[in-house]
Amino acid sequence: MRISQIVGTAGVPVAALGAAFGAAAIVVLVSGGSPMESFAAMFSSAFGSGTAVGETLVKSIPLMLTGLAVALGLRAGLFNIGAEGQLLVGALAAAWVGFALDLPAVIHIPLCLAAGVAGGALWAFLPGLLKAKRGVHEVITTIMLNHVAFYLTHFLVTTRLKDVHTMAPQTPEMHATARLGWLIEAGGLHWGILVAALCVVAFAFLMARSVIGFELKAVGFSPDAARTAGINVSGMIVLAMVLSGALAGAAGAVEVMGVHHKFYDQFSPGYGFDSIAVALLGNNTAVGTALAAVLFGALRNGALGMQLATDTPKEIVTLIQAIVIVFAGMRFLKNRVPGTRGSRDPGLRADTQGRADAANP
Mean pLDDT for the stretch of residues 61-79: 96
The residues, ordered by sequence, that sit 6+ positions from 63 with a Cβ below 8 Å of its Cβ are 271, 274, 275, 278, 292, 293, 296, 297
251 and 258 Cβ atoms separated by less than 8 Å = no
Task: Give the bridge partners for 189, in sequence order.
Answer: 184
Q: Is the dihedral of CA 324, 325, 330, 332 positive or negative?
A: positive
Q: Which residue has the higher pLDDT, 161 or 2?
A: 161
CA 345-244-297 angle, to 5 degrees, is 90
pLDDT of 114-134, one tens digit each?
999 999 999 999 999 999 999
- Angle between helices 286-310 and 192-209 in degrees, nearest 10: 140
The residues, ordered by sequence, that sit 6+ positions from 279 with a Cβ below 8 Å of its Cβ are 67, 68, 70, 71, 74, 289, 292
DSSP 220-246: HH-HHHHHHTT--HHHHHHHHHHHHHH
pLDDT attached to residue 11: 61
- For residue 330, the SS3 value is helix
- Return the exposure string of 103-117: e unless at least 16 CB atoms fall within 10 Å of the residue's CB, then b: beeeebbebbbbbbb
Taking phi over 0 as left and psi of -120 to 50 as alpha, with beta for the rest, 188 belongs to left
Least confident piece of the model among 18-22, 260-264, 341-345: 341-345
Return d(Cα 320, Cα 19) in angstroms, integer: 9
> What one-character DSSP code corresponds to residue 32?
T
Given a cut of 80, is residue 234 above it in pLDDT? yes
Given a cut of 50, is residue 5 above it in pLDDT? no
pLDDT attached to residue 339: 45
pLDDT grade for 313, boundaries at 50, 70 and 90: confident
pLDDT attached to residue 12: 64
pLDDT grade for 352, boundaries at 50, 70 and 90: very low
pLDDT grade for 71, boundaries at 50, 70 and 90: very high
Least confident piece of the model among 33-37, 71-75, 217-221, 230-234: 33-37
Given a cut of 70, is residue 344 above it in pLDDT? no
pLDDT attached to residue 132: 95
- Angle between helices 233-255 and 83-100 in degrees, nearest 10: 50
pLDDT of 271-293, one tens digit each?
998 999 899 889 899 999 999 99
| CA atoms within a 13 Å half-sphere pointing along the CA-CB vector of 339 | 0
311 and 31 Cβ atoms separated by less than 8 Å = no
Looking at this protein, which amino acid is placed at residue 254? V
pLDDT of 42-66, one tens digit each?
999 999 998 999 999 999 999 999 9
- pTM listed for this prediction: 0.88
pLDDT grade for 307, boundaries at 50, 70 and 90: confident
- For residue 339, the SS3 value is coil
Return d(Cα 30, Cα 51) in angstroms, integer: 33
Share of the chain above pLDDT 90, in %: 65
pLDDT attached to residue 162: 94
pLDDT grade for 317, boundaries at 50, 70 and 90: confident
Q: Is the dihedral of CA 46, 49, 55, 59 positive or negative?
A: positive
Domains and CATH numbers, the chain: 3-359 (1.10.3470)
Q: Which residue has the higher pLDDT, 311 or 209?
A: 209
